[in-house]
Amino acid sequence: MATFREIGEFGFIERIGAAGLPRAAGVYCGIGDDCAVLACENHRVRLITSDLMVEGVHFVAEGSEPHWLGHKLLAVNLSDIAAMGGEPREAVVSLAIPPDLDVGFMERVYRGLRELASRYGVNVVGGDTARSTGPLVMNLTLTGEMDPERVCYRSGANPGDLIYVSGTLGDAAAGLKLAPGEAVGLSEQDREFLLCRHHRPEPRVVLGRALAASGAVTAMLDLSDGMASDLRHICRQSGVSAVIDGATIPVSPAFRRFRELSGAGTRNLAITGGEDYELLFTVAQRGRDVVEALAAGTEISCIGRIVKGDGRIFLENARGLKTELDARGFEHFSGSPAP
């Protein structure tokens, strides 16, 4: 007998992902990427993805702004569609609700969800509602569409490709750690920025579509479990390794100040901290100019390169010294970010 605490999320996915499909025809990609990719008519593919949020694991109901819970529930799914380069379409929402929860709380959750939905043209078309005997559990399934030729899988990275990320890393993980008494001396403005990055991630849907349309991206995913952990998926699924230049990892001024004021435990947070919901993607050398021109409006940073190898990740310092990263990122069943 083994428990989920022992084998973890990825151990379980490996076990259940091994079985085949009854109708393999028309399935471009099943379990193992940000979305499943399915053939549909007129040379389009459908994308489908699902993400859960559990009270006490992903959020605390007491003191959370319900509006932002709804926003985040959709945002994390939009981020998966963005990571394939797709256009979001329909959502269904399932809720397990403690019976004594205030209905107004869930109405505010829905308002936040709908506001983000209308910005991206997502229709919330149904779902299911049941009683929970424990925490509030919310699941959202989101569909998308796109051109099959443009789908950005995790498995296309090649030695020599450059590694990029959008935005800045570690902000959301810092926001999660901002309990009273942490990072004493941090300004209200910095605190607000980091909390906002944690509670209200802005999915990179527009950037994801533009990157996919450019044809220059060889592999892409969204950062949910921490950069080191997520980059490992690209490396393993592409059969390559990666070298990250530590000095180029983009961090925000607020994060930098947070790190200075906090303990040693936050030193690697930009590399291991979860819930960035930024895009990480690889680009062949010849695609470099295309990608950098296209992302002029949005910050993107080149943080390293793909090398030959077997799924390992190395961190290189300014003197060219490489250390292998053993970062696990966020592991849901152990319940805490890696140090």
Q: Does 95 bind its own copies (CB under 8 A)?
A: yes
**Least distance to its own copies, CB of residue 202, Å:** 18
Q: Are 173 and 85 in contact (CB under 8 A)?
A: no
CB-nearer residue toward its own copies: 78 or 186: 78
DSSP string spanning 189-213?
HHHHHHHHHHHS----HHHHHHHHH
**What 3-state DSSP class applies to 228?**
helix
Strand partners, 167: none
CB-nearer residue toward its own copies: 255 or 277: 277
Phi and psi, residue 189, nearest 5°: -65, -45
101 CB-near residues (< 8 Å, 6+ apart): 61, 136
35 is written with which tokens?
């979305």
Residue among 102, 149, 188, 310 that touches its own copies (CB under 8 A): 102
Phi and psi, residue 65, nearest 5°: -85, 110
Residue among 14, 65, 125, 317 that touches its own copies (CB under 8 A): 125
Residue list 20-39, contact with its own copies (CB under 8 A): 21-24, 27, 30-31, 35-36, 38
Q: Binding string, 186-225, against its own copies, x = CB under 8 A?
A: ----------------------------------------
**Least distance to its own copies, CB of residue 4, Å:** 5
182 CB burial (10 A radius; 0-12, 13-18, 19+): middle
Residue list 273-312, contact with its own copies (CB under 8 A): none
Residue among 84, 96, 186, 270 that touches its own copies (CB under 8 A): 96
Q: In what order do the strands lie in the sheet with 300-308?
A: 217-222, 279-283, 162-166, 300-308, 240-245, 313-316, 322-324
CB-nearer residue toward its own copies: 237 or 262: 237
CB-nearer residue toward its own copies: 221 or 325: 221
CB-nearer residue toward its own copies: 143 or 266: 143
**Least distance to its own copies, CB of residue 171, Å:** 22
Total residue length of the chain: 339
The CA-based angle 225-67-51, given to 5 degrees, is 35
CB-nearer residue toward its own copies: 253 or 335: 335
219 CB burial (10 A radius; 0-12, 13-18, 19+): buried
Residue among 69, 106, 169, 194 that touches its own copies (CB under 8 A): 106
Q: Are 175 and 198 in contact (CB under 8 A)?
A: yes
Q: Does 126 bind its own copies (CB under 8 A)?
A: yes
Span from 123-131, 167-175, 273-281, 307-315 in contact with its own copies (CB under 8 A): 123-131
Residue among 69, 73, 137, 231 that touches its own copies (CB under 8 A): 137
Cα gap 192→251, rounded to integer Å? 16
Phi and psi, residue 274, nearest 5°: -90, 175
Residue among 14, 65, 121, 260 that touches its own copies (CB under 8 A): 121
Residue list 54-73, contact with its own copies (CB under 8 A): 54-58
Residue among 62, 63, 99, 149 that touches its own copies (CB under 8 A): 99
Tell me, what amino acid is at 212? A
**Least distance to its own copies, CB of residue 51, Å:** 5
**Least distance to its own copies, CB of residue 55, Å:** 7
**What 3-state DSSP class applies to 169?**
coil
**Least distance to its own copies, CB of residue 271, Å:** 23
CB-nearer residue toward its own copies: 87 or 190: 87
